Amino acid sequence: MSEDVVIHKGLENVYVKETRISYIDGVNGKVYYRGYDLEELVERSSYEEVSYLLIFGKLPTKRELYNWIADISSNYELEEGIIKILREVPKRNSPLDILKYSLLTIGLWDEKINSLEREDLYEKIVKILGKTPSILASWYRLRRGYRLVEPDPNLGYAENFIYMVRGEPSTRDAEIFDDILILHAEHGLNASAFAGMVTISTLSDLYSAVTSSINTLKGPLHGGAAGAALKMFREIGSPDRVEEYFEAKLARKERIMGFGHRVYKTYDPRAKILKNILLGLDLPPDVDRLFRIALKVEEVGMERLCKTKRICPNIDLFSGLVYLYLGLPDDFSPAIFALSRLSGWIAHILEYLEDPRLIRPRAKYVGELGLRYIPIEERG
């Protein structure tokens, strides 16, 4: 009871492992995947190549990338049992909930569900990566009463998703979606990555570990910020009301969505990339109106928050607007986040399996001891 311990709330600044997966330079606003500048990867690479880099620790050769893409695309098709479940569950369910239950169900078809052998893990990885976009695209269409679109294994990862959602491919929008996937693919040992690592530390199975990450992402403090930023833009209504909105929020000491990050002390580089993508698009009127509000929020926030308090724009300020441009509703934001982050989660899970140790933190007891048990008849 008198043990002298330090409580690290939220495990802030507690290091639990060494990693080679990613590095976030929060002072200079840079992100590196396996040593490669994220901005260069967005400009020159593809999500398939980046996912290979994150999971296997190196850029693939042409042959390795070809095989990797072929193995993922061969898993686009969903089992009939999964399609039946998607048709029958209530349409009120969020895409993220549909995704987590579907992945667990897909594991039931895996004869080696519990195997952590490298060869078996590879088969699970390409299955999870291949089927996730098909699950989300199918749910998008079923919830609207549309006929399902069969996946096309000849299309790339991003383009196949756009095709399954819309029923027709779009190279330009597929490129934008590919950029989104790369930008969200990995971001250090955040809550969801840690949750997956905790699960795999028990030597559980890969489906359970990934689902643990999804469950953690579901919380609005982690995966719901993009949708919350869209809600904020709609509440503000027009650019000329942004100053008034800031005054009221700051007076109540409430958070401005799309600003602040535990790691960054400057402008999130991912947000800059998304902003530039939006600036280069011919946006539909409803999205353009919200984007103009977002730009004003950015301007005021840079003066009121970033320059003085180092609370700067983060990726959520603009990501929801890109999803909206692509035709995805607000509640798809966390699910697209999960689709993108699969490769990062899996990379952390595999890295921890290289030298696994059961994660078992302690809690300092501060309650009473030696209380006398009172029979229920005597309790007032």
Q: What are the catalytic residues?
A: 261, 316
- Residue-wise burial string across 297-322, b where 16 or more C-beta atoms lie within 10 A, e elsewhere: bbebbeebbbeeeebbbbbbbbbbbb
The strand order across the sheet containing 36-37 reads 22-25, 30-33, 36-37
The DSSP secondary structure of 60-128, one letter per residue, reads PPHHHHHHHHHHHHTT-SPPHHHHHHHHHS-TTS-HHHHHHHHHHHHHTT-TTTT---HHHHHHHHHHH
Q: Which residues face 22 on adjacent strands? A: 33
The helix/strand/coil state of 22 is strand
Cα–Cα distance between 210 and 195 in angstroms, integer?
9
- H-type helices in the chain, by residue range? 38-44, 47-56, 62-73, 80-88, 95-107, 118-143, 157-166, 171-184, 191-200, 206-217, 225-236, 242-251, 269-279, 285-301, 307-309, 316-325, 333-353
Question: Contact, 107 vs 205, CB < 8 A?
Answer: yes
Structural tokens at position 76:
């686009």
Cα–Cα distance between 133 and 359 in angstroms, integer?
31
300: amino acid identity, one letter: V
Question: Contact, 305 vs 256, CB < 8 A?
Answer: yes
Cα–Cα distance between 196 and 177 in angstroms, integer?
25
Structural tokens at position 155:
């299309």
* CA 246 centroid distance within chain: 28
